[in-house]
Structure 1
Amino acid sequence: MSISTFLRKKIVNIALLIAGGLILIQFIRPGIKNPPVTKDIQVPPDVAQVLRVSCYDCHSNETKLKWFDKIAPASWLVAGHIRDGRKALNFSHWDSLSAGDQKASLFLSVNQAMLGAMPLPSYTTFHGEARLTEKDINTLKTYVGGLAPVKVSDTSRITVAQQQFSKWATGALPAVQAVQPAPNGIAYIHDYRDWQIVNISDRFDNGTMRVILGNDIAIQAINRHQTNPWPNGAIFAKVAWEQLTDSNLVANTGELKQVEFMIKDDKKYAGTAGWGWARWKGNELKPYGKTLTFTQECVNCHQPMKGNDFVFTPAMADADRPDKVVNGAQLQLITSVIDNKRQTHTVLLGNAIAVQHARSGAAGAYPTGAILTLATWSQQEDAHWFGAKIPQHLQTVETVKVGTTTTYEGHQAPSWKQLPAADHTDRINYITHLKASVIFN
């Protein structure tokens, strides 16, 4: 037998083995089923059409498989996508979600679509009709954006916030030592509240306002413009409060909803994108997540920001940082205010004396030596998160210094010259009477 004949027979035998294997694995079915629909999402026809074409195959009980989706091993991959998709969000079980979770799921879905994470590129490669067009995304944005109007807060929400503040100021809330670690072993970091501000966010999608704080390593990286990637040891704390909105559409911080941390260590947390993730919720500071797998939820949400080291909200530019523009002081957070009519976001900062007084909830004037700085930014839509607004430009920085006489200084963009001397009693009263936000220690 010649070598060429031997090779041909070997190739034929290998081909037959492969063909036989492909035939045999067709009997191993993943069992893709469509369970009953308990209640479908109720949306306008144009929105429903987009969801059905681009989302329902993986996120509903109305999956429609093409012929090639049924051939193994592709069918195994498809089955996995459907299983994971339904677990994350199932439009056929819409009634299983609370109203708040329904809205949050829709905003998250729109953001995943805008950032190109959904539908999965591996899916649209073979299901081109599922690709979302700009028109499709705008249809979803128009509908979902209308689900989050600015609402005046009712008495019950104000009462809840007041009760939480009273417990916090009097030390009636659980001691940090009693707070349980996250399922992945990360412990609650009690001194985050004295870190410096990295950025702020108005999450109008869920009615919260947020402040992102950074530890010394994170702040040093920002000052050196070395934030992609962030250095090991950098830690972010994100604090979220419910917005209490009055009849003038001015929102102050209400009940503290959650505190979450991102801890950079590309070796220790190599399995979760180089970051350690942890979150605590409510008065009890209850750790989020039932098992260690909750971290994958965090990674998946941040995956579209892989090119930005998985960080959604960047640090403020130097030109928009009050410490860089005017006084250079390293002041700590006291509270935050959003004016929805003026489209501004304001943060009150203070030195140690001012912060201690404000966080104690004590009545009366600030003690001598207290320094308060009120910084106000214009707002812009967050390019990385539909449903959020972040600072655009720093507009004003006002400083009140308490001594034998209380003094006021105001600086305004773009020149940052001190405002002319005048009677600023109203501004001093406003700044010194802002109530501190609850910041668990």
Structure 2
Amino acid sequence: MSISNFLRKRLVNIALVIAGGLVLIQFIRPGIPYPPVTGDIQAPPDVARILHASCYDCHSNETKLKWFDKIAPASWLVADHIREGREALNFSNWDSLSAGDRKANLFLSVNQVMFGTMPLPSYTAFHGDARLTEKDINILKTYVGGLAPVKISDTSRIGVAQKQFSQWAAGALPAVTDVQPAPNGIPYIHGYRDWQIVNISDRFDNGTMRAILGNDVAIQAINKHQTNPWPNGAIFAKVAWEQLTDSSLVANTGELKQVEFMIKDDKKYANTAGWGWARWKGNDLKPYGKTLTFTQECVNCHQPMKNNDFVFTPTMADADRPDKVVSGAQQQLITSVIDNKKQTHTVLLGNGIAVQHARSGATDAYPAGSVLTLATWSQQEDAHWFGAKIPAHLQTVETVKVGATTTYENAQAPSWKQLSAADQSDRINYITHLKASVIFH
């Protein structure tokens, strides 16, 4: 037998074995259950059409398989995707979710669509009708954005915030003296509240406002414009408060909800994208997560920011940083205010004397030597998260210095020249009477 005939026969045998194997594995069919629909999402027709076309095959009990989805081994992957998809979000059990969870899931879904992570690219490659157009995405954004209108806070939420502030100012909070570490062993970092501001965020999707603070390593990296990647040793603290909105649609910080940390060490945390992740919630600073697997949840959430070293928070341009445009501008956070009518976000910063006084809950005048800086930015949509607004451009920097006489200065963009103000006494009164945000040590 010639070598060519031998090879031909060998290839035929291999092909027959493969074909036989493919036939046999067709009998190994993972079961895909079709439980009843208990409570489907109620959405406008154009939104429902998009969800059915792009989401329901994996995220509902109304899965409709194409003929090629039923061929093994592809059918095994399809079954896994359906199982995982239903576990993450099932529109057929929509009525089992709280109103808050429904809204959060819809905002998350829109962001995943915008990031290009959902529907899965491997799915749309074979299911072209599941691809979303720009028009589809805008329809979803309009619908979901309408689920988070600005609401005036009720008295119960105001009462919760006032109680927390009083207990905190009296030294009774946090409610534990020994904060437990996160499940991955990362300890709670005391002293973060005196770090400098990296950025601020208006999370209108869940009714919180946030301040992102950075340690010295992070701030030095920002000053040197060396933030992608961030250097080892950089740490961020993200603090979140409930928004308390009054009848003028001005929101102040309410109840402190949580504080979370990102710690950069590309060797120590190589398995979690080079970052250590940790979060503590509530008055007792309870660590988030029951097992080490919670860190994968963090990595998955930040995966769309892989090309930005997994960091959602953009740094402010030098022209929009108070300390870069006004000499003597302070950096330690006292509180934060959002004006929904003017579309502005303001922070009150202070020197050590002012911060200590504000955080004590004292109602008397600031002591001599206090320096307060009130910085106000216009807002813009956060390109990294639909459902959030971040500062666009710094508009004004107001400074109050307390001494034998109290002085007021007002610098405005773009010249940053000091301007005289006819209402100096009103502005001094407003700035010195802003109540500090609760921020645990």
Q: TM-score category by the smaller chain?
A: over 0.9
**2:274 aligned residue:** 274
**1:368 aligned residue:** 368
Listed one character per residue, the Cα deviations across residues 78-118 of structure 1 (whole Å, up to 9, x for unaligned) are 12211221111111111221111110110111111112111
Is the aligned partner of 1:392 residue 2:385? Answer: no
The 3 A distance-change label for structure 1 pair 233 and 176 is farther
**1:142 aligned residue:** 142
**1:255 aligned residue:** 255
**1:78 aligned residue:** 78
**2:117 aligned residue:** 117
Alignment of 1:218-367 (within 5 A): 218-329=218-329, 331-367=331-367
Same amino acid, percent of matched pairs: 87
Q: Residue type of the partner of 1:427?
A: R
User: What is the Cα deviation at residue 176 of structure 1?
Assistant: 6.1
Alpha-carbon distance between aligned partners in 1 of 2:401 and 2:440, rounded to the nearest angstrom: 26
Q: Residue type of the partner of 2:401?
A: K
Listed one character per residue, the Cα deviations across residues 122-180 of structure 1 (whole Å, up to 9, x for unaligned) are 11001111001111111111111111111111111100000011111111123665222
**2:165 aligned residue:** 165
Alpha-carbon distance between aligned partners in 1 of 2:124 and 2:177, rounded to the nearest angstrom: 49
**1:56 aligned residue:** 56
**2:430 aligned residue:** 430
Alpha-carbon distance between aligned partners in 2 of 1:404 and 1:423, rounded to the nearest angstrom: 20
**2:206 aligned residue:** 206
Alpha-carbon distance between aligned partners in 1 of 2:288 and 2:234, rounded to the nearest angstrom: 21
Q: Tell me the secondary structure at the aligned position of residue 258 of structure 1.
A: strand
Q: Tell me the secondary structure at the aligned position of residue 174 of structure 2.
A: coil
Listed one character per residue, the Cα deviations across residues 412-435 of structure 1 (whole Å, up to 9, x for unaligned) are 001000112655111111000000
Alignment of 1:93-108 (within 5 A): 93-108=93-108
Q: Tell me the secondary structure at the aligned position of residue 191 of structure 2.
A: helix
- Could you tell which deviates more after superposition, 68-77 or 245-254? 68-77
User: What is the Cα deviation at residue 274 of structure 1?
Assistant: 1.6
Alpha-carbon distance between aligned partners in 1 of 2:410 and 2:120, rounded to the nearest angstrom: 51
Q: Tell me the secondary structure at the aligned position of residue 52 of structure 1.
A: helix
**2:11 aligned residue:** 11
Alpha-carbon distance between aligned partners in 2 of 1:297 and 1:122, rounded to the nearest angstrom: 21
The 3 A distance-change label for structure 1 pair 2 and 177 is farther
The 3 A distance-change label for structure 1 pair 326 and 392 is same
User: What is the Cα deviation at residue 24 of structure 1?
Assistant: 2.4
**1:42 aligned residue:** 42
Listed one character per residue, the Cα deviations across residues 236-268 of structure 1 (whole Å, up to 9, x for unaligned) are 111111111111111000001111111112222
**2:25 aligned residue:** 25
CA-based RMSD of the aligned residues comes to 1.3
Consecutive unaligned residues in structure 2, runs of 5 or more:
none
Aligned length in residues: 441
- Could you tell which deviates more after superposition, 19-28 or 134-143? 19-28
Q: Tell me the secondary structure at the aligned position of residue 33 of structure 2.
A: coil
Consecutive unaligned residues in structure 1, runs of 5 or more:
none
Q: Residue type of the partner of 2:309?
A: D
User: What is the Cα deviation at residue 373 of structure 1?
Assistant: 0.3
- Could you tell which deviates more after superposition, 414-423 or 186-195? 414-423
Q: Residue type of the partner of 1:165?
A: F
Is the aligned partner of 1:128 residue 2:150? Answer: no
Listed one character per residue, the Cα deviations across residues 170-220 of structure 1 (whole Å, up to 9, x for unaligned) are 111236652222222222112111111000111111111111111111111
Alpha-carbon distance between aligned partners in 2 of 1:289 and 1:40, rounded to the nearest angstrom: 30
**1:414 aligned residue:** 414
- Could you tell which deviates more after superposition, 384-393 or 284-293? 284-293
- Could you tell which deviates more after superposition, 352-361 or 275-284? 275-284
Listed one character per residue, the Cα deviations across residues 296-327 of structure 1 (whole Å, up to 9, x for unaligned) are 22222211111111111201110000001102
Asked if 2 retains the 8 angstrom alpha-carbon contact of 1:196 and 1:330, the reply is no
